Structure 1
Amino acid sequence: MNEERKRILKLVEAGKLSANEAITLLEALEDKGNEKTTKAEQTKHIVNEVSTNVQPENKHTKDDQKTHHYKQSSVKSKLTEFIDSAVKKIKDLDLDFNFGNAVEVNHIFQHSDALVQNLDVDVSNGSVEIIPWNENDVRVECKVKVYNLESIEKARESFLDEVVFSIDNHKLIFAVQKKQMKVLAKIYVPRVQYEHVKVRMFNGPISGEDLEVSTFRAKTANGTIKVAKINSIYMELETANGQIDLKDSSSKECEIETINGAIKVDGRYEKLDAQSFSGNIVCYLPGEDCHTIGVKTTAGNIDIDTSITRNIDGELKSTLGGFNCEIPHMNIVKEKNEVVQKYLRFKTTTDHENKLYMFAETKTGSINIKPI
Structure 2
Amino acid sequence: MIEEQKRILKLVEDGKLTAEEAILLIEKLSNVDSGMNQAEKEAEIRTELSAKVDYEHTRQGSSFDQKATSVKNKFMDFVDSAFKKIKDMDLDFNFGDAIEVKHIFQHSNVNLTKIDLDVANGSITIIPWGEKDVRIECDAKVYKIENQVRARKAFLEDVRFSIEDGKLLFLIQQKQMKVNAKIYVPNENYENVKVRMFNGPINGENLVVQDFRAKTANGAVTVTNFVTTSMEVETANGHIKAENIESKEFEAETINGTVTVGGRFEKVDLQSFNGNITCSLAEDSCHTAYIKTTTGTIHVFVSDAYEVDGELKSNLGSFKAELPVMSIIEEKNDIVQKSLRFKANQDKGNKLYLFAETKTGSIEIKPI
Superposition map of 1:191-210 within 5 A? 191-210=187-206
Q: Deviation of residue 302 (structure 1)? A: 0.4
Aligned with 2:302 (options 306, 310, 325):
306
Q: Alpha carbons of 1:151 and 1:17: their partners in 2 closer, same or farther (altered >3 Å)?
A: closer
Count of aligned residue pairs for this structure pair: 342
Aligned with 2:60 (options 24, 34, 42):
42
Letter in 2 for 1:27: T
- Structure 1: which 5+ runs fail to align? 52-74
Tell me if the contact between 1:309 and 1:350 (Cα under 8 Å) persists in the aligned partners: no
Letter in 2 for 1:309: A
For 1:33 and 1:209, how far apart are their aligned partners in 2?
42
The equivalent of 2:267 in structure 1 is 271
The share of aligned pairs that are identical, in percent, is 51
Superposition map of 1:321-336 within 5 A? 321-336=317-332
For 1:305 and 1:258, how far apart are their aligned partners in 2?
21
Q: Deviation of residue 84 (structure 1)? A: 2.3
The equivalent of 1:181 in structure 2 is 177
Q: Alpha carbons of 1:328 and 1:76: their partners in 2 closer, same or farther (altered >3 Å)?
A: farther
For 1:143 and 1:264, how far apart are their aligned partners in 2?
29
Aligned with 2:349 (options 347, 353, 365):
353
Tell me if the contact between 1:304 and 1:369 (Cα under 8 Å) persists in the aligned partners: yes
Q: Deviation of residue 342 (structure 1)? A: 1.2
Q: Alpha carbons of 1:49 and 1:301: their partners in 2 closer, same or farther (altered >3 Å)?
A: same
The equivalent of 1:131 in structure 2 is 127
Tell me if the contact between 1:8 and 1:22 (Cα under 8 Å) persists in the aligned partners: no
Tell me if the contact between 2:304 and 2:345 (Cα under 8 Å) persists in the aligned partners: no
Q: Deviation of residue 286 (structure 1)? A: 1.2
For 1:10 and 1:100, how far apart are their aligned partners in 2?
36
Letter in 2 for 1:16: N
The equivalent of 1:121 in structure 2 is 117
The equivalent of 1:344 in structure 2 is 340
- Say whether residues 1:237 and 2:227 are aligned partners: no
Per-residue displacement from partner, 1:203-257 (whole Å, max 9, x unpaired)?
A: 0000010000001111000001111001100000000000001011110000100
For 2:113 and 2:222, how far apart are their aligned partners in 1?
22
Aligned with 2:276 (options 263, 267, 280):
280
Letter in 1 for 2:217: A
Q: Deviation of residue 50 (structure 1)? A: 2.6
Q: Alpha carbons of 1:253 and 1:322: their partners in 2 closer, same or farther (altered >3 Å)?
A: same
- Structure 2: which 5+ runs fail to align? 1-23
Q: Deviation of residue 16 (structure 1)? A: 1.7
Q: Alpha carbons of 1:203 and 1:250: their partners in 2 closer, same or farther (altered >3 Å)?
A: same
For 2:351 and 2:344, how far apart are their aligned partners in 1?
10
Aligned with 1:16 (options 17, 25, 37):
37
- Say whether residues 1:84 and 2:107 are aligned partners: no
Q: Deviation of residue 307 (structure 1)? A: 1.0
Kindly report structure 1 stretches of 4+ aligned residues shifted beyond 4 Å.
6-11, 32-35, 75-78
Q: Deviation of residue 10 (structure 1)? A: 11
Secondary structure of the residue aligned to 1:346 is strand
Secondary structure of the residue aligned to 1:50 is helix
For 1:42 and 1:3, how far apart are their aligned partners in 2?
29
Secondary structure of the residue aligned to 2:155 is helix
- Say whether residues 1:223 and 2:223 are aligned partners: no
For 1:96 and 1:125, how far apart are their aligned partners in 2?
10
Q: Deviation of residue 327 (structure 1)? A: 1.2
For 2:181 and 2:94, how far apart are their aligned partners in 1?
19
| TM-score (norm: length of structure 2) | 0.86
For 2:30 and 2:353, how far apart are their aligned partners in 1?
36
Superposition map of 1:66-85 within 5 A? 79-85=72-78
- Say whether residues 1:27 and 2:47 are aligned partners: yes
Q: Alpha carbons of 1:341 and 1:143: their partners in 2 closer, same or farther (altered >3 Å)?
A: same
For 2:310 and 2:57, how far apart are their aligned partners in 1?
34
Tell me if the contact between 1:9 and 1:90 (Cα under 8 Å) persists in the aligned partners: no
Q: Alpha carbons of 1:327 and 1:279: their partners in 2 closer, same or farther (altered >3 Å)?
A: same
Secondary structure of the residue aligned to 1:351 is coil
For 2:48 and 2:198, how far apart are their aligned partners in 1?
27
Q: Deviation of residue 131 (structure 1)? A: 0.5
For 2:249 and 2:126, how far apart are their aligned partners in 1?
21
The equivalent of 1:3 in structure 2 is 26
Tell me if the contact between 1:96 and 1:203 (Cα under 8 Å) persists in the aligned partners: no
For 1:265 and 1:227, how far apart are their aligned partners in 2?
10
The equivalent of 2:102 in structure 1 is 106
- Say whether residues 1:317 and 2:313 are aligned partners: yes
Q: Alpha carbons of 1:110 and 1:10: their partners in 2 closer, same or farther (altered >3 Å)?
A: farther
For 1:258 and 1:7, how far apart are their aligned partners in 2?
24
The equivalent of 1:164 in structure 2 is 160
